[in-house]
Each structure stands twice: as C-alpha cells, then as structure tokens.
C-alpha cells in the first residue's frame, strides 16, 4: 500500500489496505494508512468514516481527532469539525493548529464569544506562528462586533 501511495496510485493503495483489513479489521496502523490515503485522495466522506472507526477503537489518538476535524472542514461540516477540534484540544491542550481551526470554525458558525476565547488561547500558544497576525485581526474584529460582551469572553 505504501508504494502505491508514494506513486500516487491511491486506488491501488486503498485496495491493498482493504484486503489486509479483512484479515485484521482492528489493525490501527492499517486503518491509519487507509484513512490517510482517502484523505490524500480528497475522498472526505471515506476518510471521515475510517477516522471515526479509528476514534472508536483508539479514543486517545490526538492526530485522529485533528485529522477528523480537517476532513469535516473539507466536507463543509463545521459543527462536526468543531467537536473534533475540541476533542483534539482536550487530549492535547497545546495543539496550536487545533485552536486555530476551532476559532475559524466558531467564527464561521457565528459563535463569536467562544471564538474570541479560543483566539486568545491560540495567541497564548502561537509564538511566531504564521497565522498569528491573521488571528490578531480576527480578535480586533470580534471585539469590535461584540462590544461590551468582548470583556466577558477574554
């Protein structure tokens, strides 16, 4: 499967991993590889299904939670992505990119007070992250939009 993936033949890689999973249906490594191939191929629904299976089998894998959030974002399901990013942060409170993506999805779903709080958490963790200035601008816009409520959300 790895060779097919490296060669860009995702269909063949999927076929190999599925065949191997028939004999070892709960093999976490094979499931991760299958999810990754679907993710690389832009097969968001299939990737989400495998990541959900992985989450059920291995409920403390931070990368699975995070990747699930990414896939749900690609599927246009920010509410589900928000849940996945929250799980990521619960398992790893220092996960900078989960904070960033959570804040973006909260803005997208108009949960502005929560978005402002998460932006603050991102900024506290971000150091010189490439998105820092963008998030600082979002914070300014959120504070302006929220007015008096902004002080409560910080």
Residues 4-33: pLDDT tens digits?
666 666 788 888 899 999 999 889 999 999
Residues 31-63: pLDDT tens digits?
999 999 999 999 999 999 999 999 999 878 899
CA-based end-to-end distance of the chain: 47
Contact assessment for residue 111 and residue 119, using Cβ atoms and an 8 Å cutoff: no
Q: What is the mean pLDDT of residues 64-72?
A: 97
pTM over 0.95: no
Contact assessment for residue 106 and residue 82, using Cβ atoms and an 8 Å cutoff: yes
pLDDT of amino acid 152: 43
What the block records as the tokens of 44 is 């968001």
- For residues 105 and 76, give the distance between their C-alpha atoms in angstroms, rounded to a whole number: 10
């Amino acid at each position: 499967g790895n060779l097919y993936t490296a060669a860009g033949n995702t269909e063949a890689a999927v076929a190999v991993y599925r065949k191997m999973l028939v004999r070892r249906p709960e093999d976490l490594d094979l499931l991760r590889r299958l999810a990754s191939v679907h993710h690389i191929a832009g097969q968001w629904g299939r990737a989400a299904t495998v990541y959900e299976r992985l989450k059920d089998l291995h409920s403390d894998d931070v990368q699975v939670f995070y990747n699930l959030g990414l896939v749900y974002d690609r599927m246009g399901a920010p509410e589900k992505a928000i849940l996945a990013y929250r799980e990521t942060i619960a398992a790893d409170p220092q996960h900078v990119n989960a904070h960033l993506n959570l804040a973006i999805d909260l803005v997208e779903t108009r949960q502005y007070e929560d978005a402002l709080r998460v932006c603050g958490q991102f900024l506290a963790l971000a150091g010189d992250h490439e998105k820092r200035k963008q998030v600082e601008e979002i914070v300014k816009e959120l504070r302006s939009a929220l007015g008096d409520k902004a002080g409560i959300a910080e």
